Amino acid sequence: MKNVEIARIFNEIAEFLEILNENPFRIRAYKKAAKSIESLSSSVDELSEEDIIKIPGIGKDLLGKIKEYLSTGKVALHEELKEKIPYGVITLMDIPGIGPKTAKFLYETLNIKSIQDLEKALDEGKLKGLPGFGAKTEENIRKGIASFKRGIERKPLFKVLPIANEILSLMKQNKYILKIEIAGSLRRWKDTVKDIDIICAASENEKVIEYFIKLPHIKEVVAKGETKVSAILKESIQIDLRVVEEKSFGAALAYFTGSKEHNIRVRELAKQRGLKINEYGVFRESDEKFIGGSSEEEVYQVVGLPWIPPELREDRGEIEAALKNALPKIISLEDIKGDLHIHSNYSDGFNSIEEIVAAALKRNYKYIAITEHSKGLGVAKGLTEDRIFEQKKEIERLRKRYPQIVILQGIEVNILQDGSLDLKDDTLKELDLVIASVHSAFKQEEKEMTKRVIKAIMNPYVHIIGHPTGRLIGEREPYKIDIDEVIKAASDYGKFLEINSYPLRMDLNDINAKKAKEKGVKLVVNTDAHSITQLDYIVYGVSVAKRAWLETHNILNTFEVEELMKLIRKI
Ligand SMILES: [Zn+2]
Ligand SMILES: [Zn+2]
Q: How far is the CA of 423 from the centre of ligand 2 (A)?
A: 16
Please give the Cα distance from 323 to 317 (Å, whole number).
Answer: 10
Question: Residues 535, 540, 545, 549: is their CA dihedral positive or negative?
Answer: positive
Ligand in closest contact with the CA of 414: 1
Q: Which ligand is nearest to the CA of 349?
A: 2
Distance, CA of 112 to CA of 118 (rounded, Å): 6
428 CA to centre of ligand 2 in angstroms:
16
Instruction: Pick the closest to residue 503 from 469, 536, 479, 531 (CA basis).
Output: 536
CB-CB contact of 225 with 255 (8 Å)? no
How many Å lie between the centroid of ligand 2 and the Cα of residue 62? Answer: 28
Decide: 166 and 1 in contact? Cβ < 8 Å.
yes
Q: With contact defined as beta carbons under 8 Å apart, do 196 and 202 qualify? A: no
Q: SS3 for 367?
A: strand
Q: What is the dihedral of CA 376, 377, 378, 380, to 10 degrees?
A: -50
Query: Residue 334: which of 363, 296, 367 has the closest Cα?
Result: 363
Q: Hey, what amino acid is at 288?
A: E
Q: Which long-range contacts (CB under 8 A, 24 or more apart) does 358-364 make?
A: 359/532, 359/535, 360/405, 360/535, 361/402, 361/404, 361/405, 363/535
- Output the pLDDT for position 378: 56
Give the residue extent of every domain in the chain: 3-153, 155-244, 265-323, 333-567
Q: Which ligand is closest to the CA of 371, given by its number?
A: 2
pLDDT at position 1, please? 61
Distance in Å, CA 475 to ligand 2 centroid = 18
CB 435 within 8 A of CB 499: no
Q: Among candidates 96, 91, 94, 123, which has minimal Cα distance to 107? A: 91
- Tell how far CA 27 is from the center of its chain: 24
Identify whether the C-beta of residue 5 lies closer than 8 Å to the C-beta of residue 216: yes
Q: Name residue 260's amino acid.
A: K
Residue 393 C-alpha to ligand 2 middle, in angstroms? 22
For position 164, what pLDDT does the model report? 97
- Gap between the Cα atoms of 258 and 19, Å rounded: 43
The pLDDT assigned to 363 comes to 97
Is the C-alpha dihedral spanning 104, 105, 106, 107 positive or negative? positive
Ligand 2 centre distance from Cα of residue 42 (Å): 24
State the ligand closest to the CA atom of 369. Answer: 2
Neighbours of ion ligand 1 (CB under 5 A): 437
Task: Measure the CA–CA gap between 508 and 528, rounded to whole angstroms.
Answer: 13
Distance in angstroms (rounded) separating the CA atoms of residues 196 and 545: 22
338 CA to centre of own chain? 19
CATH number for region 265-323: 3.30.210.10
Give strand pairing partners of 480. Answer: none
Which CATH fold topology does 155-244 show?
A: Beta Polymerase; domain 2 (3.30.460)
Architecture of domain 333-567: Alpha-Beta Barrel (3.20)
The candidate with the shortest Cα–Cα distance to 557, out of 541, 533, 540, is 541
Q: Which of 34, 8, 4, 39 is nearest to 529 (CA)?
A: 39
- Rounded to the nearest angstrom, the distance between the alpha carbon of 222 and the centre of ligand 2 is 42
Residue 192 burial by Cβ neighbours in a 10 Å radius (0-12, 13-18, 19+): middle
How much distance in Å is there from the Cα of 502 to the middle of ligand 1? Answer: 10
Helix (H, G, I), strand (E, B) or coil at 514: helix
CA–CA dist 565, 545 (Å, integer): 22
> 3-state class of 234 per DSSP?
coil
> Which pLDDT score is estimated for 477?
83
Q: How far is the CA of 55 from the centre of ligand 1 (A)?
A: 23
Ligand 1 centre distance from Cα of residue 542 (Å): 18
List all residues 6 or more positions away from 506 whose beta carbon is below 8 Å from its beta carbon: 157, 191, 473, 499, 500, 540, 541, 543, 544
pTM (2 decimals)?
0.80
Task: Tell how strand 275-278 and strand 281-284 pair up.
Answer: antiparallel
State the pLDDT at residue 45.
86
Identify whether the C-beta of residue 290 lies closer than 8 Å to the C-beta of residue 281. Answer: yes
pLDDT along the chain (571 residues), means of 10: 86 93 92 86 85 87 93 93 90 86 92 91 90 86 83 84 95 97 98 95 96 92 92 90 97 97 96 96 95 96 96 97 96 98 93 97 98 76 88 97 98 96 94 96 94 98 98 87 98 97 96 97 97 95 98 98 92 54
Q: State in Å: Cα 288 to ligand 2 middle.
A: 57
CA 503 / ligand 2 centre spacing (Å): 13
* CATH number assigned to the domain with residue range 3-153, chosen from the 4 options 1.10.150.110, 2.40.50.140, 1.10.10.10, 1.10.3720.10: 1.10.150.110
